């Protein structure tokens, strides 16, 4: 099976990351012949033109008016979410026409291998464990607060790389999105997540969890070894989660102090960017 569309979210300060993510994905996943959709709220015309000129079948657009309005209402009621407003744009994936499976990939990913095995599942959603699971904990069913695991361990997942099948999910998922963006209901969310909270509340009972190699979160790399020991070299996808992005050298020193392997991960990202820049016409 394949995917019809690759969806991501970008902004002026993330465009470099978007370029590297897309270039590395296409280099390692040559089976993909679908469209690329870049969701944004602030990309300039020059940004959009540069992305469209660099990648085939790429379209940049803003969120649909109902989603944009719901996000605005939520962030006005909860101002602490305003600076992270664009993260909610990933939810547009849930509103796209059900013409086939969709890939969602954050712009801070680096693909280093083929992710086709993620398409082998018939689940409504395929994703990788989140930080709570990597630490051996679980998330509360209502608040998503991280709590100690009991006899049962319900899944919770990171929303940085997703394979979403709208046909398997059914039409009810999109309808169920809107109550989760209600400002009154949001008050119960105890985690610091944005779109990831919504994805989990909607689909964590229908997710198939993939191995950490498909989403090795650099910010949680050390913790992930307690769950599944995936060396940096074996990861098919590196995820530069957190504030230390490869294109933000002012944050590298602190990130390396937390995990010396961050330096090696950034070198891999820089090599991928250099290779793409050299190969461009």
Would you list the DSSP string of 100-122?
Answer: S-EEEE-TTEEE-S--GGGGG--
Q: Measure Cα distances from 254 to 84, 221, 239, 243, 251 in Å.
A: 22, 15, 17, 10, 6
Assigned CATH topology for domain 5-212? Spore Coat Polysaccharide Biosynthesis Protein SpsA; Chain A (3.90.550)
The chain-wide mean pLDDT, for the chain, equals 95
Torsion of the alpha carbons at 163, 219, 269 and 233, rounded to the nearest 10: -80
Given this model, what pLDDT does residue 123 score? Answer: 97
Given this model, what pLDDT does residue 220 score? Answer: 85
Composition of the chain by helix, strand, coil, percent to 5 = 50, 15, 35
Instruction: Give yes or no for residue 147 having a pLDDT over 70.
Output: yes
pTM for this entry: 0.96
Token output for 72:
């605005």
Q: Measure Cα distances from 47 to 4, 41, 117 in Å.
A: 24, 12, 32
Given this model, what pLDDT does residue 190 score? Answer: 93
Q: pLDDT digits over 91-139, tens only? A: 999 999 988 999 999 999 999 999 999 999 999 999 999 999 988 899 9
Instruction: Give yes or no for residue 272 having a pLDDT over 70.
Output: yes
Q: Could you count the other beta carbons within 10 Å of the beta carbon of residue 275?
A: 13
**Domain-wise residue ranges, the chain:** 5-212
């Amino acid at each position: 099976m394949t995917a019809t569309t690759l969806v991501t979210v970008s902004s002026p300060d993330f465009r470099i990351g978007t370029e590297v993510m897309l270039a590395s994905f296409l280099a390692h996943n040559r089976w993909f012949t679908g469209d690329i959709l870049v969701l944004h709220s602030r990309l300039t015309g020059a940004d959009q033109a540069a992305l469209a000129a660099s990648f085939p079948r790429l379209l940049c657009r803003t969120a649909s008016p109902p989603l944009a309005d719901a996000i605005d209402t939520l962030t006005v009621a909860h101002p602490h979410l305003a600076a992270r407003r664009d993260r909610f744009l990933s939810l547009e994936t849930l509103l796209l026409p059900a013409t086939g499976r969709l890939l969602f990939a954050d712009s801070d990913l680096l693909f280093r291998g083929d992710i086709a095995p993620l398409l082998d599942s018939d689940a409504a959603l395929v994703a990788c464990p989140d930080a709570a699971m990597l630490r051996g904990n679980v998330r509360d069913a209502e608040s998503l607060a991280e709590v100690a695991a009991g006899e049962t361990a319900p899944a919770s997942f990171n929303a940085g790389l997703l394979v979403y099948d709208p046909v398997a999910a059914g039409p009810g998922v999109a309808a169920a999105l809107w109550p989760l963006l209600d400002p009154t209901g949001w008050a119960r969310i105890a985690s610091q997540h944005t779109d990831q909270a919504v994805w989990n509340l909607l689909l964590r009972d229908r997710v198939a969890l993939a191995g950490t190699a498909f989403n090795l979160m650099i910010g949680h790399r050390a913790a992930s070894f307690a769950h599944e020991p995936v060396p940096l070299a074996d990861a098919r996808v590196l995820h530069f989660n957190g504030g230390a992005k490869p294109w933000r050298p002012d944050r590298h020193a602190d990130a390396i102090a937390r995990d010396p392997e961050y330096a090696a991960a950034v070198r891999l990202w820089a090599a991928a960017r250099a290779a793409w820049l050299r190969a461009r016409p």
